[in-house]
Amino acid sequence: MSPHVTSADICICICMTPVEKLATELKFVNKLKRNVKHEYGTSSSLRAEVNVDEELREIFRFKDTKISNWIIENKARALCVRYTESNKDNRQQILRTLASRYAVQHDDICQVAKRLVCTEPENERQMIVHEKTLKNVLTPAYHWLFVIIGRLQHGVKFLVDLRTDVLELISDVKDADESIIIQQLNHYLRDLLLLWFSVGFLHMERVTWESACDILQKVSDYEAIHPMRNWLDLKRRVGPYRRCYIFMHPSMPREPIVVLHTALCDVIPDSVKGIEEAETRILGSAKKYITFLEEDKSKIKAAIFYSIVSTQKGLQGIELGNYLIKKVASEIMTEFPAIQQLSSLSPIPNFKTWLFDKLKQDMAFIFTTHECRIAKDILQTENVIVALKKILGTSLWTGDKQLSEFLKQPLLRACAWYLYKEKRRGYALNMVANFHLRNGAVMWRINWMADPSPRGVANSCGIMVNYRYFLEDSEKNSRNYIEHFVINATEGVTNLAMQAEKLIVL
């Protein structure tokens, strides 16, 4: 135990309330951080005289030696502390150094490859030796450092955050050659995290109001689709007729990796308000309070996945949410045998941005000639595009019944085209649509004014989508989409898309 942390710091946590315990735990963590700084050094701004390049060289001198892992890990730990306390510019310089100086050496690869090609296939022993050597030179030196860091306490979390910084650096880099080597660093780090975050290493945990305070706080903080208004709102979302599940990783304790919120309803709702209305119908009263044991299982016919969030930006490109949905679906259908309908109630990020781009190109992409005339009358202007951009820039228009009714058909039509027809490399352009379609869901229903909140209107003019999961067909749908780019959608969605197509063709 560190001489700066006494047993009293640990034992004092006993017999406390959850809030007091959380506060004490935070003080304990802060004390540990101070100890790490004392042991491995102060912030980078106060240690400018220490050269990061030299620190890296010193660590990499230990590669392929027989020196004790304790020494190597202590050096790596000090580097992690130095990196964590550095500002953005210094961090990016460290990443650039790693990516350029400790990447694969192309000359070595060419030499080993030539020796391998010149070896007679019959000389199996020599072939194996050269193949092993080739494998080694094809692995960058920083891969070794990442493995060392992964062994440290909180090392995996450090690498996840490191990849967040790498992804940010990629977006900042303008030079094409430098971009390539940073991309290579990103790919190796992603592949390593892909192995460590295999779904077999994750465990699913249900969150209730009785869960630890820090977990509840993180569930609230990470909610990006429907932000928590207050603690009472959070209590409702983890209470009866709701289910909240998270994925956790043993190397990142007390850190939710994916959070999935599910509503238990009698029908598939077509709006956020519809979820609350379903709960009221089941309870018979909006204010009635019950416990989990008092839930009426016979009335629960549908499970609605209304929010799923991957909390770690550094795990971008590593599919985990789809596995959580499958596990939660199995768990809920076991608990509630009457459930026959599984569906999402999903947002449509970037739809409004796409809509404005289309309006800028040609208003005829969105509105018919007749609708254009009506728009001019309602808005009382000849410049409909400018007026619409100004009006749709806020959520106030949703309270104008005449304008809202007029916009309903054109925007639903445009949204259907955007979801069903707009593609990137053969797959749905919208990332939420792509996620659910890859999982084998059906684009089931597009809902007008499903989320009239300022956030919902800002993203997608208040429109949301139900992606429905038919478990018996999910594998077939997923394969058709991934292998043949086929989007499985209902007639209602395709009819809307066809109406939009007629406008675009004209």
Bridge partner residues of 242 (DSSP): 263
What integer pLDDT is reported at residue 14 of this predicted model? 35
CB contact burial 242-276 (16+ within 10 A = b; e otherwise): bbbbbbbbebbeebbbbbbbbbbbbebbbbbebbe
Residue 392 has pLDDT above 50, yes or no: yes
Using an 8 Å Cβ cutoff, are 429 and 423 in contact? yes
CB contact burial 398-423 (16+ within 10 A = b; e otherwise): beeeebbebbeebbbbbbbbbbbbee
pLDDT digits (tens, 9 = 90+) for 244-265: 999 999 999 999 999 999 999 9
What integer pLDDT is reported at residue 22 of this predicted model? 45
What integer pLDDT is reported at residue 21 of this predicted model? 43
pLDDT digits (tens, 9 = 90+) for 353-385: 999 999 989 888 999 999 999 999 999 998 989
Both tokens assigned to 166 = 């790498």
As a whole number of angstroms, the distance between CA 258 and CA 218 comes to: 11
Catalogue all structural domains in the chain, each as residue range(s) with its CATH number. 52-103+140-197 (1.20.140.90), 200-346 (3.40.630.150), 351-505 (3.40.630.150)
The pLDDT of 34-40, averaged and rounded, is 45
> Do β-strands 242-248 and 258-265 pair in parallel, antiparallel, or remain unpaired?
antiparallel
Percent of all residues in the chain with a pLDDT value above 70, rounded to a whole number: 89
CA atoms within 13 A on the CB side of 410: 24
Least confident of 24-38, 73-87, 279-293, 441-455: 24-38
DSSP letter at 27 equals H
What integer pLDDT is reported at residue 80 of this predicted model? 94
pLDDT band at 29 (very low <50, low <70, confident <90, very high): very low
pTM: 0.84
pLDDT digits (tens, 9 = 90+) for 115-171: 999 998 889 999 999 999 999 999 999 999 999 999 999 999 999 999 999 999 999
What integer pLDDT is reported at residue 25 of this predicted model? 44
Residue 50 has pLDDT above 90, yes or no: no
Residue 331 has pLDDT above 60, yes or no: yes
Residue 36 has pLDDT above 60, yes or no: no
* 3-state class (DSSP) for residue 247: strand
What integer pLDDT is reported at residue 506 of this predicted model? 54
Bridge partner residues of 246 (DSSP): 205, 259
Catalytic residue set: 346, 436
Q: Which residue has the higher pLDDT, 240 or 14?
A: 240
Report how far apart, in Å, the C-alpha atoms of 147 and of each of 150, 151, 193 are.
Answer: 5, 7, 10
Residue 26 has pLDDT above 50, yes or no: no
Using an 8 Å Cβ cutoff, are 46 and 58 in contact? no
